[in-house]
Copies of this chain bind each other. A is one copy, B any other.
Amino acid sequence: MPRSKSYDENTVLERAMNVFWSNGYEATSVRLLEKQMGINQFSIYSSFSSKKKLFIKSISKYREHVRQNVYQTLLQEGAGMKELEQYLLKAVQKKREPGTSRGCLVVNTAAEIGGSDDEIAAEVNGYFNFIREMLRKVLKTAVEKGEISPDTDIEKQSAFFLGVMQGLSVASKTMDPVQLNDFISVAVKQIK
């Protein structure tokens, strides 16, 4: 009997994610969100309850986004060192492209919010656990394939590459492509 929604929650959530990604949490106003999402404040609140809840949902949407568009190759069965290296170099190349790099939404959030909000911190930690798990598997596969030494300490190396990826997010905003490439090439070389 009731009227049906005129928008798709998934679609407007993806738009919200992009607004937060571009501007950060605090600098994103609900007015800006309604413009970019294309729906009224009422609809934002009826679908997502609060700005903070919408932000948290944007982070989990981001996780889905990178899973499908950034890490898809790395997440495939059999992905090893070659794929990891390719991903890192592609991230460097992207820096040459138009506009300022937005970095990683979750790194930006960790830097901006830190641990001062428990719910947001939980979502951030969940994301990084997902990345670390991905790295562990990739490195294990790399050992199995003989791409890296069987003596490789998987735990140490996955912590290392997670740290490198966090650094890369910041560095992509502050380093030129040459320095970025130097950074990554040293990080990759050490495991060979």
Contacts known (A100-B115, A111-B108, A190-B190); A159 close to B173, Cβ less than 8 A: no
Complex: A101 Cα to B111 Cα, angstroms: 10
> Mostly helix, strand, loop or mixed at chain A's interface?
helix
Tell yes or no: A36 within 8 A of B by CB.
no
* Residue tally, chain A, CB below 8 Å to B: 49
| Copies of this chain present | 2
Contacts known (A24-B112, A26-B24, A108-B111); A183 close to B162, Cβ less than 8 A: yes
Contact partners of A185 in chain B: CB under 8 A:
156
List the interface of chain A (C-beta within 8 A of B).
Answer: 23-24, 26-27, 100-103, 107-108, 110-116, 124-125, 128, 153, 155-157, 159-160, 162-171, 173-175, 179-180, 182-187, 189-190
